[in-house]
Amino acid sequence: MGKLDERVAIVTGGAQGIGKAIADALAAEGATVVIADINGEGAEAAAPAGGAGILADMAQEEQVKSLVAETVKRYGRLDIAVNAAAIVPFKAWDDIDFAEWRRIMAVNLDGTFLLTHYAQTPMREAGYGRIINIASNVVVAGTPNLAHYVASKGGVFGFTRAAARELGKYGITVNSVAPGLTASEGVLASPHAEAFDFVQMLQAIPRRGEPSDIAPTVAFLASEEARWVTGQMIVVDGGHTHN
């Protein structure tokens, strides 16, 4: 018996990294998991047994709408929505132009709104839902070379709190999880990878954060046990920052 038996989940950005670890953790607790990713092949390859991978660009409204409709059509319900898809850029403040600013907002913040907007309908009908948005501890730290990303994740934090207030009366909780620097495929292939030694010195637990360190907190928030927790941001970063 898993604590998510019979539950159906969408995890965005689950083709790799933290999203993939979350998809695996939800599936291990019994959930049927649909991975939605702009990397359609990666989504299919990463989909846990019994679930599916669906190509979707979370910045495109029609694609998010179809993702939710397709999930409900295939599996009959939608209980859990995890917004993990994001672009994690590395750019000096002076090099961020408006087009880049908009691109980050479109995926990281608009995508979170869009999935919440479309997922709430089947959740409200069922009187039950769990929405978990992946923020970042950069909203506390104000990390350099990421100003647009920091702003987008600050938006995710604020939107989570507001949506929790709107949706609580329908049995839907909305929370965010804020990881610290984590060894995902995306980070390991970027200049952020050079920050691990420095960041470890600032953590209470001095080792590299892994995607599997983030997933159990999401699985808890996705469960019935977390029924009295909503509107919160849980920082999961080995004690690097304090919310």
Active site residues: 149
Selected from 3, 30, 39, 158, the binder of ligand NAD by CB under 6 A is 39
Q: Which residues pair with 83 in a beta bridge?
A: 133
Neighbours of 143 (CB within 10 A): 20
Count of residues in contact with ligand NAD, rule CB under 6 A:
30
Selected from 4, 7, 19, 71, the binder of ligand NAD by CB under 6 A is 19
Q: What's the closest the beta carbon of residue 29 comes to ligand NAD, in angstroms? A: 20
Q: What's the closest the beta carbon of residue 75 comes to ligand NAD, in angstroms? A: 20
Q: Is residue 104 at the binding interface for ligand NAD, with CB under 6 A as the rule?
A: no
Neighbours of 195 (CB within 10 A): 15
89/102 Cα distance (integer angstroms): 13
Q: Is residue 58 at the binding interface for ligand NAD, with CB under 6 A as the rule?
A: yes
Q: Is residue 11 at the binding interface for ligand NAD, with CB under 6 A as the rule?
A: no
Selected from 8, 23, 54, 86, the binder of ligand NAD by CB under 6 A is 86
Nearer to ligand NAD, 59 or 219 (CB): 59
Tokens of 67: 């993702």
Name which of 125, 119, 120, 90 is nearest 104 in CA terms. 90
Neighbour order of strands in the sheet with 233-236: 52-55, 32-37, 8-12, 80-83, 129-134, 172-179, 233-236
Ranges of H-type helices in 190-242: 196-202, 211-221
243/156 Cα distance (integer angstroms): 15
* Side-chain-facing half-sphere of 16: CA atoms under 13 Å: 15
183/126 Cα distance (integer angstroms): 37
Selected from 105, 107, 109, 119, the binder of ligand NAD by CB under 6 A is 107
Read off the DSSP letter of residue 240: S
Q: Is residue 57 at the binding interface for ligand NAD, with CB under 6 A as the rule?
A: yes
Q: Is residue 184 at the binding interface for ligand NAD, with CB under 6 A as the rule?
A: yes
Q: Is residue 182 at the binding interface for ligand NAD, with CB under 6 A as the rule?
A: yes
Name which of 215, 214, 213, 217 is nearest 229 in CA terms. 217
Nearer to ligand NAD, 86 or 123 (CB): 86
Q: What's the closest the beta carbon of residue 110 comes to ligand NAD, in angstroms? A: 9
Nearer to ligand NAD, 13 or 122 (CB): 13
Residues that bind ligand NAD (CB under 6 A): 12-13, 15-19, 37-39, 42, 56-59, 84-88, 107, 134, 136, 179, 181-182, 184-187
